[in-house]
Structure 1
Amino acid sequence: MASARPELADRYYLDNFELLIASTRRYHPLFPAEQAQQLAQFQTLSEAAQRLLVRLLGRKGAWFRQSKLRYNDINDMAPALAELSEQQLLVSGVPPRDIWLQQVTLPELKQLPVINDAGLQRLPKAALIQTLLASDADCDSDGWLLQANQQLDERWWQLQCQGLLQLLQLLYFGNRNQDLTQFVVSELGLQRFEQYRLDASTQSFQQTDELQTALNLAQLADEWDELLRQKLPLDPVDFYQRLPKPQVQPQLERRRQRLVAHLGRSAERLNLWEFAVACYQQCQAWTANERYCRVLQQQLKLTPTAVIAEQLVQGLNQLWFSASNEAAQQVAHRLAKRSLPLLAPLCAEPTLTALARPLVAANHLAGQQQSLQLNADFIAAAPRVEQRTATYFEAQGYQVFFCENALLNGLFGLALWDIIFAPVAGAFHHPYQRAPQDMYSASFYEQRADAIEQRLTAILAGETAIIWRHFTEKQGLQNDWVNWSLLTEPLLTAALAAFSPQFIYDVIRRLLKDPKHYRSGQPDLALFSSEGACRFIEVKGPGDSLSDHQGYWLQFLGRYYPAELYFVDYV
């Protein structure tokens, strides 16, 4: 029977917020003036007022009805509200019409004279709100809203310090979207994390204006997301004028470029081709370079000029050379193939590297495809086709592990564990990370290249003791690459006995090339014979098919050990 989930303390949410403040203390001297003042004000509040403010910060939106504020741990709401108002962390007022109408209940709306006079009582709430928002000047006037709120006899409060929470979240989590639930997971002892350095030497930002820029970018990103969510008119050119200039600080520049890429995509939808090109030219992400080539291709259809043709040739070649995996190469290859008829009349002999180096199809598995029919005994042995196949091969005398992505990823995570969690500026923001912030970007290798190359050289020379040491010393600690439930001691023992140093070296090299892409698609089963020889098997049940990603992994592994695709059926 599962153990009961531990109870959280009454003030756990306030404890978490205070931990958020304490853990970002190294940044406090850099806080912009507004957030520094709000933090100082928060720290002077009574506990009741602090509890209320943190509760409100955790809710959606900035406007709240006083009559709806009920918390068991805050006995007297009025003094807490008065204290927050005195510090100007909350202000009293009447919200905009759309917010007011959304938060008022349907029975309350139906009591308003404007509803009764117009005979709208039978409408559902959504239609009622739409009608009121689209109505004439009577509904638009402040007088109408003030009169309606007076009849409702409601007091409203607006938060004034969302920027403080957003800044704390940015500094602690490294993004604006993650919330405080991770604290709870750790407090209850459900996860244990590696201990890595968090101090001034590893912090992301060194200047106040960098923090302000981070906050501005987060707010602009929120605004853009809200425009998309509400399907409101978008003006990418106007929005671009509000972005900060290109940044020297790498994290800020990546965030800026993500927004610029969004603007480029919006410009495409509006047929603003030149502006889209200008956006994509500022972005380093491979997906932005792909969009750049597609826009040039479209421009060439509309305005076939030698200048655009030359830009497209350069863009396509760069797209091919920067492709970090086979899927990206396929995209570059197809784009080049479609572009060739457009380029031929304008370029005497367009050199497209993607066409000069033909791709090997993902399903090109000569000698690697097998069929297997399982009878009722194996069907009854397990619920999943992979487990049934594992049972079959165990009956053939193999030691079989259902490991999917756990084995090769685990070797990567164990071999590089200390490097993954090394103190690199901007890599870690809080004590609950399973990997550094840049784990899945090119900067992971770039910022640790010397240490990685030294480790790879040692592994190629047959030094695998570091893998065992990390397996033993780090048991149970969170690492994005190590699945402790599947990477067991018997599996690791068999793998290290069977794998050559060259194989381990090449696997780590492959994963380093594109960690996000290559961490998935690996075979389901690892088999080891009585002599210790390894064999990889990808299992496909009736109606299932092989993805390109899985096919390329089988091709890669087949250069070293038998790596087969088994189509399983039942008799």
Structure 2
Amino acid sequence: MATASDTLAPRGADLANPLYYLENMETVVGWVLAHHGDLLTPAERRRLDAFRVLPEPARALLTRLVMRTGELFRADKLAYPELPVADALACLADGGWLRTDPELALADLFRLYTLAELRQAFAPLLASLGLPRSLPKRELQARLSPEMSVPNPLKRWPGALPGPVVQLTDMALFERVRLMFFGNLRQGWADFVLVELGHQQYERVPFTPASRAFQCRDHVDRYLVLHQCREQLDAGVEPGAVWPQVPEASGNPWLDRRRDRLLLELGRLADRGGDRDLALRAYAASGHPEAHLKRLRLLERDGRIEDAWRLLATLPESDAGDDPSGQGEAEAEGLARLRRRLARKLNLPAPPPAPRPTIREWTLNLPGPTGPVEAAVARHLHRDDAPVAYVENCLIPGLFGLLCWPAVFEPLPGAFFHPFHAAPADLAWPDFVARRQAGFATCLARLRTDDYRTDILDTWDAKYGLANPFVAWSELSRPLLERALACIPAGHLEAMFRRLLQDVRGHRSGFPDLIRFRPADRSGSRYELIEVKGPGDRLQDHQRRWLVYFAHQGIPASVCYLRWHAPESAP
């Protein structure tokens, strides 16, 4: 099996190539064969090898069909100007890639044909059944279903429906390939095959057997079962029918996180449907951070206060996510409120809520309105010796992303599946930070040296333009970074970075809109973060949490409430 050292990273096709989608598909197939070939059966590898040597038009048409929805297609409706469709269809049929006379259920016909075509084909049958031809499509299908419940090839259906209909024979294999390339089945072929990848540059992350999320074929099979379970839930299948199908934990942390999320959703749907026993079992089996809170709330609603209190006693108390365990602030605050509520119900002393510092607020009256409130406040406050910049959620996350670049792109199992990742695949997972704890600790330790400014700017120069989930290149500039690094103390940066790491998904937003620099101020703070609120606007929860944190840490931040007043008229 190939490793990062003996294969070049593939490149996306140029959209100027009419068959760019085929070129991208060949990249996907080649990558999977090189890096996941051991997870395929010999028959599957032979089939993919056979795909790669098909005549180009046949490969291109097969790619087009794989990318479309479903497995059944009307041959008379296939039209691609760049392809000789008839010849390609014949080639694919000869090679067994297409079935030319598949069994079709009534529902298949109603997906493939128009209402006018169906009415004409079924006219005699409708007349014999005493049904009007004017029935809408859905009702027509419902009326015919009892009479036509057995699938048949197209030629055995009544009437003369246009044909032929062809069916893909290897869709399951291509779905497996898609899973091993993307690492999920949420992304479709269009997310890669139909896009121009050259407009974005990506970090080169080593891809080795040890960094693979799927270490054996069983892991792929388990993922497919989990995906099928989630599809059933999304389609409205009762949670009680899905529960027995959920596989046991595999011991693969990346895979088991997906199982935890499935169980969380199954428990939620069971609770909503009134099956509280199943909901409790699903929450108990899930390791998702939200499962504890949902299980406790359900016990409380059932009146099982003592059971809830005993379970709560097994959970650590935390100050809204003060560790990288994956428990977000919202969950931590929910647990704290629940702890106080249960204590009151049991006549036990309740822990007092943590004191909240005062958020500094001030009001600014300006003539207007004159455009966005943030821009108006920035213009008013700006001075040559105290410049103001609009930074919102770009500056602090950007500095973090540049300092912690090595940790963000650490090649851990389940983080990267192919060379076109704009972010680690596990970025939104609760244990994103915990898995990289040592790497982030090393990066943050640089803030306690004299070299961190140089490190950040050197990374800016070396990585400029490469996709990074924390760095918005178009919103940052080197002069802005230089000014921020000169004015913001390292201790303040570390405090903000550590809170960002407490909940990467939740804390990447909510930063104040503006930053005002005071480079010449040697007696007090050389910068201030300012959240701007216009008339009728108010702080959102995630913004308030950041401001409370800033106050705790002594980081200068305030809220400016802008009020417009009519400009004075000229005399």
- Fold in common (TM above 0.5): yes
The residue aligned with 1:538 is 531
In 2, Cα distance between equivalents of 1:141 and 1:485: 59
Structure 1 distance, partners of 2:205, 2:83, is 37
8 Å Cα contact 1:260-1:283 kept in structure 2 = yes
SS of corresponding position for 2:473: coil
Q: Which residue number corresponds to residue 373 of structure 1?
A: 365
After superposing the two structures, state which structure 1 stretch, 183-192 or 207-216, moved more: 183-192
The one of 120, 129, 140 equivalent to 1:128 is: 140
Q: Please tell me the residue identity of whatever aligns with 1:490.
A: P
Change in Cα spacing, 1:528 to 1:31, as seen in structure 2 (3 Å) is: same
The one-letter code matched in structure 2 to 1:424 is L
Look up the match of 1:517: 506
Bigger shift: 540-549 or 206-215? 206-215
Q: Following the alignment from structure 1 to structure 2, what is the Cα–Cα distance between the partners of residues 176 and 268?
A: 27
Structure 1 residues 116-140: Cα deviation after superposition (integer angstroms, max 9, x where no partner): 443422233233334434xxx3243
Q: Which is worse superposed, 397-406 or 551-560?
A: 551-560
Q: Which moved more, 1:392-401 or 1:546-555?
A: 392-401
Deviation at 1:547, TM superposition (A): 0.5
* 1:418 corresponding residue in structure 2: 406
Letter in 1 for 2:440: I
Alignment-derived partner of residue 158 in structure 1: 167
For 1:250-261, list aligned pairs within 5 A: 250-261=253-264
Aligned partners of 2:105 and 2:151 also within 8 Å: no
Distance 1:185 1:391 in 2: 43
Matched residue, 1:492: 481
- In 1, the alpha carbon distance for the partners of 2:100 and 2:230 equals 25
Write 1 or 2 for the structure with the bigger share of helix. Answer: 1
**Residues 394 and 476 in structure 2, CA contact (< 8 A), matched pair in contact too:** yes
Q: Give the Å deviation of 1:506.
A: 1.2
Q: Alignment partner of 1:189: what SS? A: helix
When residues 219 and 91 of structure 1 are mapped into structure 2, their CA distance, relative to the original with a 3 A threshold, is: farther
CA offset digits 1:255-295 (Å, max 9, x no partner): 22222222212221232222211111121212222221122
In the alignment, structure 1 residue 398 sits paired with structure 2 residue 386: yes
- Contact 1:296 1:311 survives alignment (8 Å): no
Query: Are the aligned partners of 1:57 and 1:162 in contact in 2 as well (CA < 8 Å)?
Result: yes
For the 8 Å contact 1:93–1:157, the answer to whether it is kept is: yes
One-letter code aligned to 1:356: P
Q: How far does the alpha carbon of each residue in 1:153-182 deviate from its partner, in whole angstroms, 9 at most, with x for none?
A: 432222232222222222222211223445
Q: Which segment is superposed worse, 487-496 or 324-333?
A: 324-333
For 1:317 and 1:560, the matched residues in 2 are separated by 24
Q: Which residue of 2 aligns with 1:3?
A: none
Residue 330 of structure 1 contacts residue 359 of structure 1 at CA under 8 Å; is this kept in 2? no
| C-alpha displacement of 1:388 | 1.2
Alignment of 1:238-257 (within 5 A): 238-257=241-260
For the pair 1:12 / 2:20, whether they are aligned, the reply is yes
State the distance in 1 between where 2:285 and 2:95 align: 46
Q: Does 1:274 align with 2:277?
A: yes
Correspondences of 1:207-218 after superposition (within 5 Å):
207-218=216-227
CA change 1:312–1:296 in 2 (3 A) is farther
Aligned AA (1:281): A
Deviation at 1:316, TM superposition (A): 9.0
Note if contact 1:264-1:276 (Cα within 8 Å) is conserved in structure 2.
yes
1:429-448 CA distances to partner (integer Å, 9 max, x unpaired)? 11121222222334333333
**AA aligned opposite 2:30:** A
What's the CA shift for 1:21? Answer: 1.2
Match for residue 4 of structure 2?
none
Structure 2 unaligned residues grouped into runs of 5+: 1-13, 566-571
Verify the 8 A CA contact 1:94 1:156 in the aligned structure 2: no
Cα shift at 1:534: 0.1
The partner residue of 2:560 within 543, 547, 566 is 566
- Residue 402 (structure 1) shift: 0.4
Partner of 2:353: 358
Corresponding residue of 1:463: 451
| 1:194 aligned residue | 203
Tell me the residue number matched to 2:7: none
Q: Is 1:475 matched with 2:459?
A: no
* CA displacement at 1:245 relative to structure 2: 1.8
Could you tell which deviates more after superposition, 157-166 or 411-420? 157-166
Pairing of 1:337-356 with structure 2 (within 5 A): 337-340=340-343, 342-344=345-347, 349=348, 355-356=350-351
Displacement of 1:183 after TM fit? Answer: 4.2
CA 343–48 in structure 1, closer or farther in 2 if over 3 Å, else same: farther
CA distance in 2, matches of 1:305, 1:188: 55
How many residues are paired up? Answer: 539
Secondary structure at the residue paired with 1:165?
helix
Cα 1:504–1:141 shift into 2, 3 Å: closer
> Which moves more between the two structures, 141-150 or 57-66?
141-150
Q: Is the 8 A contact 1:293 1:315 kept in 2?
A: no
Tell me, in whole angstroms, the C-alpha distance in 1 between the residues paired with 2:112 and 2:95. 25
Of residues 73-82 and 313-322 in structure 1, the stretch that sits farther from structure 2 once superposed is 313-322
| Equivalences for residues 281-360 of structure 1 within 5 A | 281-299=284-302, 301=303, 304=304, 306-307=306-307, 310-311=310-311, 313-314=313-314, 324-340=327-343, 342-344=345-347, 349=348, 355-360=350-355
Q: Which residue of 1 aligns with 2:424?
A: 436
Once the two structures are TM-superposed, the CA of residue 187 in structure 1 deviates from its matched residue by: 4.1
Deviation at residue 188 of structure 1 after TM alignment: 5.7
Alpha-carbon offset, residue 108 of structure 1: 0.9
Pick which of 558-567 and 328-337 moved more: 328-337
Given the alignment, which residue of 47, 52, 69 partners 1:43? Answer: 52
Distance across 2 between alignment mates of 1:343 and 1:84: 72
In 1, the alpha carbon distance for the partners of 2:43 and 2:226 equals 16
- Secondary structure class of the residue paired with 2:528: strand
- Paired with 1:343 and 1:316, the residues of 2 have a C-alpha distance of 20
Q: What is the letter of the counterpart of residue 358 of structure 1?
A: P
Counterpart of 2:377 in structure 1 is: 389
Take 2:445 and 2:416, find their aligned partners in 1: how far apart are those partners? Answer: 27
TM-score, with normalisation over the residues of structure 1? 0.86
Pair 544,435 (structure 1): closer, same or farther in 2 beyond 3 Å: same
Q: Which of residues 67, 74, 94 in structure 2 aligns to 1:65?
A: 74
2:447 maps to 1:454: no
> Secondary structure at 2:464's aligned position in 1?
coil
Among 259, 263, 267, the residue aligned to 1:264? 267
CA distance in 2, matches of 1:307, 1:183: 49
